[in-house]
Amino acid sequence: MAIANKNIIFVAGLGGIGLDTSREIVKSGPKNLVILDRIENPTAIAELKALNPKVTVTFYPYDVTVPVAETTKLLKTIFAKLKTVDLLINGAGILDDHQIERTIAVNFTGTVNTTTAIMEFWDKRKGGPGGVIANICSVTGFNAIYQVPVYSASKAAALSFTNSLARLAPITGVTAYSINPGITRTPLVHKFNSWLDVEPRVGELLLEHPTQTTLECAQNFVKAIEANQNGAIWQLDLGRLISVEWTKHW
C-alpha cells in the first residue's frame, strides 16, 4: 500500500520505534496521520508537522486498556473528521514482567479491543469498506525471551490474533499483518524486570546481543506497509526485513 495520500491511525506512534516510524511515514506523504498515545508530546507532534507540512498530523490521548465502547467513541470522532481510514497500526507495548496484568492488558487485550472497535467502521458485513491492520508484535512471539515469559506470551498471543485476522479477511474485508522487531535499542530494553526476578540482569544481558536502531526498524516498517501483504509475519531484525513462515493452518 502506497502511503501517499492515505489516512493512517497510529496507536503509540510517539514511543521509541513508534516515533521514528511516524517520522518515516510522514516523509512518505500520507494525507492524515492520527496519533493516539497515552502521553502527549507536543514537541514531537510539532516536529512531525514541520517534517512535511502537506501532511495533517493530529493527536488524541488514548490508553489502550480502556473498554471497547470508549475506543469506539474515539474512533467515531476520528472517522467523522476523516471520513475514511486506510490503515490502523497497533503499537502499544510494555516490557515489565512485574506488571503481569498490565502487560497482558497493553500488549494483547489492547490490540484486540482497538481492532474490535474499528471493525464497527470497516467490517464489510456492516457495509464498511474494509481496511488494513498492522500489529506490532515481537520476535519473542515465536522465539521467547524465557526470563520474561509474560511479555513473550503476550506477544505470541498478539501474533496469533493477527494471523487469525488475516484468515478472516474474506469475511470482514479487513486484512492484517504483524511487525515483529528484534532487539532494538529503545528505553524499553535498557532496564526491565524479569518474572519473579529470575534474572535481575536480563536487560543488560539482552543488549549484549547484536541490536538494531529504531531508525533501521522504522525504515523496514515502512517497507512492510508498502508491501501490504495480508497474513505476512515480518521480522525486522538487524536492519533487515524478513518474511517468516508460520506453522500449519488448521
| 168-209 confidence digits (pLDDT tens) | 999 999 999 999 999 998 876 768 999 999 999 999 888 889
Phi, psi dihedrals of residue 79, rounded to the nearest 5°: -65, -35
Query: Residue 188: its pLDDT value, please?
Result: 66
Q: Are 237 and 181 in contact (CB under 8 A)?
A: yes
Q: Is residue 144 domain-resident? A: yes
Q: Is 88 helix (H, G, I), strand (E, B) or coil?
A: strand
* Active-site amino acid positions: 151
* pTM (2 d.p.): 0.96
Provide the domain limits for residue 46.
7-244
Q: Is residue 149 domain-resident? A: yes
DSSP state of 217: H
Q: Mention every residue, 6+ apart, whose C-beta is less than 8 A from residue 170.
A: none
Query: Residue 26: its pLDDT value, please?
Result: 98
Grid cell locating 2:
502506497
Q: Is residue 249 domain-resident? A: no
Q: Is residue 1 domain-resident? A: no
Phi, psi dihedrals of residue 228, rounded to the nearest 5°: 50, 55
Grid cell locating 221:
516498517
Q: Are 243 and 232 in contact (CB under 8 A)?
A: yes
Q: Is residue 2 domain-resident? A: no
Q: Is residue 194 domain-resident? A: yes
Query: Residue 207: its pLDDT value, please?
Result: 86
Query: Residue 247: its pLDDT value, please?
Result: 64
Which CATH number fits the domain that encloses residue 200? 3.40.50.720
Q: Are 181 and 131 in contact (CB under 8 A)?
A: no
Q: Residues in the chain with pLDDT < 50?
A: none
Q: Is residue 98 domain-resident? A: yes
Number of domains in the chain: 1
